[in-house]
Amino acid sequence: MDSETGSRKPEKVSSEINLRSEEVGEILGRPPGWIVRWGTGVAFAVILVIITGSGFFRYPDIVRAPVVITQENPPSVLTARVTGKPEAIFRTDGSVVRMGDTLAVIENPARYHDIFRLGGFLAAINQAIRPGGYIPGVSLPAELVLGEVQPSYNLFAEALNDYKVFIAQDFYESRIAALQRELEEYNRYRENLGRQKILAVRDLEIGTTQFRRDSLLFESGIIPASEYEQAQALLLSRQKTVENAELALYDAGITIARLERSIADTRLEKDERQQKLFTGLVNSFRQLESSLAYWENRYLIKAPTAGTLNYLSVWSSLQELREGDPVFSIVPDEMGELHARVIIPFRRAGKVKPGQRVNIRLDGYPYMEFGMVEGRIRSVSGGPVEQGFPAVIELSRGTVTSFGYQLEITRELPGTAEISTDELSLLERLVSPVRHLLRNHLITSGNN
């Protein structure tokens, strides 16, 4: 009895399982309509929520660019323009300097003391090397060792000597004086010839009157032919005397004109020669000034502005400097307004506009510890440089970071600017590539 009961139970369980399997199969094979309707509605609602949310969810693109926070008058960094050791350092670290002060000189073939003497000499004679200046009083300093400036100095010394010799010898003035004396003699000679001509003309007039009387007497037969011929010869002699006087006056006039022309030509020649020598002197002087300025630009380190001097990479006259090494910096007394300069890359420069928000991460101040400096784009330059478009960032809170730290700006601070451009929704970002592809497809189809 018990065994029969036990055998019936497995059969009953098996039949129940088969029955349920058939019901599940019917549900899976042909789900009820309400499940399909509810599932479709839920899926549509989810998709609609996502699309609607993507239309409301907006965020900006971030344009990253290198930035430097500085001030209107940033510290000036002075670099070595040639390789060599500092021959002399004239100012101590931390001293106050004025604009134009000589801070150091790099070793070179010239003696810098002689260069300084030459500079003072050129400044002193600058007024003399001009038209009307008293050049004969200029004396060159002797035994100067000028290195690269020496050839220009030698040319100037030669030009100065030629001009001073020209002025001292005064050859043209001596020649002009001799010609003027000769001209004065000929003027007196012409005056004498003029008086002689007047006398000869008067004598000719008297002789003509006498000859007329003799002619009447000869025609009347009172005097013989011999006396008449003598009177005629005397008249011709007097006429010849007048003509000779006129010819002498003419010759004297020609000689006087020649002397006057010679004087004028000599004066012109003198002026041309003097102008040529003076022009050569001025040109050699300017060339010497240029050579001296070139030497100073290469070997002297001067303060471009007033402020406090800081040593950067030089502490001893035995230290070797290479071209381009920073040597000193000068912190101006008035630093001016604080701002940031950024170079916007070409790739995304078109998205950057004035007024956009900027977060600045400074290299020297980790942003996770100190926060970021905030600002806005003040202006964007229309002219590009090699790396991109320069722009100026106005710092809204100065150097106070987003964490409340006040950063002290004593030098330029480099970092990275994160520029927040115009916001776009997620839906616009998804649709834009599709729209671009469709437009290109339509253009391609139209061309075909």
Is 0.75 surpassed by the pTM of this model? no
- The mean-pLDDT minimum among 8-22, 102-116, 140-154, 163-177 falls in 8-22
* Alpha carbon separation from 131 to 135, 265, 274 (Å, rounded): 10, 22, 11
Q: Nearest CA to 141 among 120, 126, 162?
A: 120
pLDDT greater at residue 422 or residue 257: 257
- pLDDT tens digits for range 377-412: 888 887 777 788 888 888 888 888 888 888 877 667
Confidence of residue 352 (pLDDT cuts 50, 70, 90): confident
**Domains plus CATH for the chain?**
2-58 (no CATH), 64-73+335-447 (2.40.30.170), 102-302 (1.10.287.620)
* Alpha carbon separation from 9 to 3, 4, 13, 160 (Å, rounded): 10, 9, 6, 138
Average pLDDT, the chain: 80
Other C-beta atoms within 10 Å of 316: how many? 8
Through-space distance between the first and last CA atoms of the chain, rounded to whole angstroms: 91
169 CB-contact burial (10 Å; exposed 0-12 / middle 13-18 / buried 19+): exposed
Q: Nearest CA to 393 among 421, 417, 426?
A: 417
